[in-house]
Amino acid sequence: MTPNTETPAEMELALGARLRALRLDRNIDQKTLAERAGVSVRALRNLEGGLGSTLRTLTSVLRALGRSEWLQSIAPVATINPLMLTRAAAPRQRSSRPRSRRDEST
């Protein structure tokens, strides 16, 4: 399935499978990885099995596997903003409300 049509449960299963494959590729058993990550073996099993987990468990396991850079690809910060290229532009402090559309029939 494509990522756009996957349900959250399918996404959790796919992520868990990737983490499990990475762990096995590095020849690390679940108990050892759980100890390195500072999480319980049950929490690691839940993560790898796509049975729901916490963000803390995910980040701890990624760090223990040496893959914390994966988190940077989730929502990368734009490095070039065309508006910042002008002299008068200042960094945004907050978002703006959407502008209402005027009735074009008037």
For the chain, domains (ranges, CATH) are 8-73 (1.10.260.40)
29-50 pLDDT, tens per residue?
Answer: 999 999 999 999 999 999 999 9
Q: How many Cα atoms occupy the beta-carbon half-sphere of 65 within 13 Å?
A: 26
Helix, strand, coil percentages in the chain from 3-state DSSP, rounded to 5:
50, 0, 50
pLDDT at residue 1, rounded to an integer: 41
The pTM score is: 0.65
The stretches in the chain having pLDDT less than 70 are: 1-3, 76-78, 80-92, 95, 102-106
pLDDT at residue 83, rounded to an integer: 63
Distance in angstroms (rounded) separating the CA atoms of residues 78 and 57: 27
Non-local (6+) Cβ contacts of 46 within 8 A are 52, 53, 57
Per-residue HEC secondary structure of 31-75 comes to HHHHHHHCCCHHHHHHHHHCCCCCHHHHHHHHHHCCCHHHHHHCC
How big is the chain by its Cα radius of gyration, in Å?
21
